[in-house]
Structure 1
Amino acid sequence: MRNDKFTIVYCTPALYSAGGTERVVSLKANYFADVLGYDVTIIVTEGKNGNSFFPLSDRVKVINLGLNFEEIWNVPFVKKILLYLKKQKAYRKMLRRELLRIRPDITITTLRREINFITDINDGSKKIGEQHLSRSNYRGVDNRYSNFFELSFFRWWKDRVVSSLMRLDKLVVLTDDAVSEWPELTNIRMIPDPLAIRVRNSSSLTSKRVITVGRYSYEKGYDLLLRIWSIVEKKCSDWQLDVFAMGDPTPYVKLMDELSIDKKRCHLNSSIVDVETEYLKSSILVQPSRTEGFGLVIVEAMACGLPVISFDCENGPRSIISDGENGFLIPPFDVETYAESLLRLISDENLRQKMGENGKQMSMRYDIDTVGKQWQQLFEELMQNDGV
């Protein structure tokens, strides 16, 4: 009979960027190692130095295979496929070697390139998939920029994923809506993302500042946010909007110019590690996403006492926000209604305080100890079913 100090391996592309997956993987790896006493290794394929953008425990080991799949993003389509297949073959060989060396009890994949072959690696570990995107956005391709052949390839590639997910010992998704997205699967467990910050204080909600945190990408909807803000700023001359995001803000700077947005009151910042400080200096979180796998930023902001406004996009926000209680859910993608709701919160401090308090109470269910215990229970169930 083995003890319950399991050996865990995480497979994820990278740790060096400020993305949501990187944040959550780092947080859970730290919890598994420092609190549960597990032996934890993270295997990545990207990033030259292997450093983590977010704090990582000294007890967590990182193995960087240095395959650099990211270099194929901007090459012609045919060359991209050939390079991908070459790197994928190398990845399969290298990951198999590491798993056979480590012999983990549990291997967790964030469902990137290794999902195509990880269940074929006979290292003795239970295989868990961790899904951070909605089904429609998983292995998605942007229809605006792809020709017929690219679309056909990606649709074929996307259709293969169901058979791969069926072979996992468990697929973990973040919301009840996400469970219903996969009617073909019977191996699903819902465990939400944990709150990534230990909140010590609450915002006073008196600062005339609106905040959003994320990524400069089409999915995050900052083009919609700027259109919303172009309406709002004309009706409240003393409030400002601060965006903290990873990626290239250049297209959004251009849109600000087109919309004649006041750059003294609308700031497009880079991503930051200490998001708690920025939440506490703000009074409202705006989340303009077109799609969300979960909405960790919403939970973080609520934990700091902020009311939240979000489009009622698929999956995440509706599992966290109770419309009219701890924030507003806006019909997708109604810019005018969103602007009206934001103006309402801006003009009513009592409403901000009420929604902020409700959100803070709700956020407690996402505490790392609560979520971590759900993962611990899953690990123990899988290992018990293995006859240990």
Structure 2
Amino acid sequence: MVQNKPLKIVYCIPSLAVVGGGQRILAIKANYFVEEFGYEIHVIVTDNGKISPYFHLHPSIQIHNLDINYDRVVPLYKRFFSYFHKRCLHKRRLNACLKQLMPDFTILMLRRELSFIMDMADDSIKIAENHFERHSYLNNANYGLLHYFPKFVWRKWQKIQIECLKRIQRFVVLTYEDEKQWFELDNITVIPNPLTFIPEHKSFCNSKQVIAVGRYVNQKGFDLLISAWQMIASKHQDWTLKIYGDGPLREMLQRKVIDAGLSDSCKLEFPVKDIAAKYAKSSVFVLSSRFEGFGLVIVEAMACGLPVVSFDCPCGPKDIISDHVDGILVKTGDVEELARQISYLIEHDEIREQMGKRALENVQRYKIENIAILWRDLFNALLQEKNNK
């Protein structure tokens, strides 16, 4: 029997004061849950709790600052003891906060709480959200002092993480492809991220511009995209590639553009707030990532009516794109094929426009009202299971 009173949900996240995908998605979902479902939402943070959230939150959403500040810089000789002192403090303060709030659900972002969340004294149902694919979470996540230790410690940590996830009532991942990678677990539900905006303008796919968006880091594969564009530019001299982003590889990528003689046709643009307007002025979106957790930029581009050419990397593109229907999937790392498929859409106006229209139709399943229903159904199902015990 599902309860009639409004659900009380607690989110645990390190900080709301930073510009991150997890923070943006949390804000979108939490605001919708309050406004449309009448849920009572609380957010517990460990760091930067005195700084206002970057993304707008409904006035009724309460923020609770545990004031742990893991990221506060301390001398190296104190770092080990400081970290474990903060973990003990974190566990004690989180337990007290949850006992006071007594939520129906506590939702984690797979951070430090995971190792002790099932030891909390409250009776809430625990859900963990994974915003990365398995490989990047278990191998590339920066967890405190672990990078100081040898590989066998990492392997032990990975096993502990799996055991912690087995104890959680439900583990939510973003894609069916990622679900298959967590073969040890039988408590998984797939719920993708929602669209982050509803664009005012759509692309007519008739400009001579290709667009890519993302951080200038190795994961995004912009070095591969520039190599592909080098194969395209001489044949299609009236077309331009614009890559919106920033990051530690900007200088390296700019040098690659110059060395390839692409300064006139390939532009490294800084991030803009209204990225939807840039999508609308383009005709093709390209994702050249080596791996993704979901590929939210694909969904954003499709919502603006753009066909997508994407590496078939883990995880996300295969779940989002219907190959040769609303986009084109290319074997990850195959630069020549990436160039060939971008050129194909450049050269075939009608196919490009048809794919863009189908992309706009197919992406509607990611609207927040549809994603929120999946979450509501999960909440109700878990409450039913709990009440039947």
Give the alignment's TM-score, normalised by structure 2.
Answer: 0.90
Q: Show CA shifts across 1:217-270 (max 9, x none).
A: 222222222222333333322322222335443443344344443167412313
Q: CA deviation at 1:86?
A: 3.1
Q: State the secondary structure of the residue aligned to 1:309.
A: strand
Deviates more, 1:38-47 or 1:325-334: 38-47
Amino acid paired to 1:14: S
Which residue is 2:337 aligned to? 337
1:238 is aligned to 238
The answer as to whether partners of 2:245 and 2:268 remain within 8 angstroms in 1 is no
Aligned AA (1:127): K
Task: Tell me if structure 2 keeps the 8 A contact 1:46–1:66.
Answer: yes
Cα contact 2:241–2:265 (8 A) shared by 1: no
Change (3 A) 1:378 1:211: same
* Separation of aligned partners in 2, 1:239 and 1:75: 52
Counterpart for residue 118 of structure 1: 117
**Consecutive unaligned residues in structure 2, runs of 5 or more:** none
For the residues of structure 2 that align with 1:2 and 1:148, how far apart are their CA atoms? 48
Question: More displaced, 151-160 or 305-314?
Answer: 151-160
Give the drift of 1:314.
1.4
1:121, distance to aligned residue in structure 2 (A):
0.8
Q: Does 1:94 align with 2:93?
A: yes
Q: Distance in 1 between matches of 2:197 and 2:101?
A: 31
**Amino acid corresponding to residue 192 of structure 1 in structure 2:** P
Structure 1 residue 101: deviation in Å?
A: 1.9
Shift of 1:109: 0.4
Q: Is the 8 A contact 1:14 1:44 kept in 2?
A: yes
Aligned-partner SS, 2:27: helix
Residue 80 of structure 1 and its aligned partner are, at CA, apart by 5.3
Distance in 1, matches of 2:240 and 2:93, equals: 49
Distance 1:79 1:218 in 2: 32
Q: Please state how far the C-alpha of 1:301 moved relative to its aligned partner.
A: 1.0
Mean Cα deviation higher: 239-248 or 335-344: 239-248
With over 3 angstroms needed to count, the CA separation of the structure-2 counterparts of 1:385 and 1:71, relative to structure 1, is same
**1:141–1:154 Cα contact (<8 Å) kept:** no
Summarize the Cα distance change of 1:139–1:89 in structure 2 as closer, same or farther, 3 Å threshold. farther
CA distance in 2 between partners of 1:264 and 1:232 (Å): 10
Q: How far off is 1:339 after superposition?
A: 1.2
Contact 1:18–1:246 under 8 Å retained in 2 = no
Identity of aligned residues (%): 37
Per-residue CA shift, 1:176-216, capped at 9, x if unaligned?
A: 12221122211111111111212343211122222222223
Tell me the residue number matched to 2:380: 380
Q: 1:43–1:253: structure 2 CA closer, same or farther, 3 Å change rule?
A: farther
For residues 28-75 of structure 1, what are the alpha-carbon distances to aligned partners after superposition, in whole Å with 9 as ceiling and x for unaligned? 111111111111122223336533333322232233434333456x98
Q: Which residue of 2 aligns with 1:152?
A: 152
What TM-score, normalized to structure 1? 0.90
Aligned 1:320-335 pairs, distance under 5 A: 320-335=320-335
- In structure 1, the partner of 2:367 is 367
- With 256-265 and 17-26 compared, the bigger mean Cα shift is at 256-265
Q: Is the 8 A contact 2:15 2:49 kept in 1?
A: no
State how far apart, in whole Å, the 1-side matches of 2:349 and 2:258 are: 31
Tell me how far 1:99 sits from its aligned partner: 1.5
Amino acid at match of 2:94: L
Structure 2 distance, partners of 1:79, 1:286, is: 46
State the aligned residue count. 383
Q: 2:290 maps to which residue?
A: 290
**Alpha-carbon separation, structure 1, partners of 2:23 and 2:301:** 18
Name the SS of the counterpart of 2:140 in structure 1: coil
The answer as to 2:258 corresponding to 1:262 is no
How far is 1:147 from its partner? 8.4
2:203–2:306 Cα contact (<8 Å) kept: yes
Corresponding position of 1:352: 352
Q: Deviations over 1:133-171 (max 9, x none)?
A: 1111113239xxx98944333222122111100111111
**Distance (whole Å) between structure 1 residues aligned to residue 251 and residue 17 of structure 2:** 22
Q: Is the 8 A contact 1:141 1:151 kept in 2?
A: no
Between the aligned partners of 2:81 and 2:222, the Cα distance in structure 1 is 34
- Which segment drifts farther, 201-210 or 243-252? 243-252
**Counterpart amino acid of 1:174?**
L
Q: Secondary structure at the match of 2:22?
A: helix
Query: For residues 47-58 of structure 1, what are the structure 2 equivalents within 5 Å?
Result: 47=48, 49-58=50-59
8 Å contact from structure 1 (residues 42, 61) kept in 2: yes
**What are the Cα deviations for residues 70-90 of structure 1, in whole angstroms up to 9, with x where unaligned?**
456x986x8655443333222
Offset at residue 21 of structure 1 (A): 1.9
Q: Which residue of 2 aligns with 1:127?
A: 126
Partner of 2:12: 11
Q: Aligned partner of 2:16: which letter?
A: L
Q: Which residue type is aligned with residue 278 of structure 2? A: E
Alignment CA distance shift 1:288-1:326 (3 Å): same
The SS at the match of 2:57 is coil
Unaligned runs of 5+ in 1: none
For residue 64 of structure 2, what is the aligned residue in structure 1?
A: 63
Q: Post-superposition, which runs of at least 4 consecutive aligned residues in structure 1 deviate over 6 A?
A: none
Deviation at 1:308, TM superposition (A): 0.5
Q: Which moved more, 1:212-221 or 1:294-303?
A: 212-221
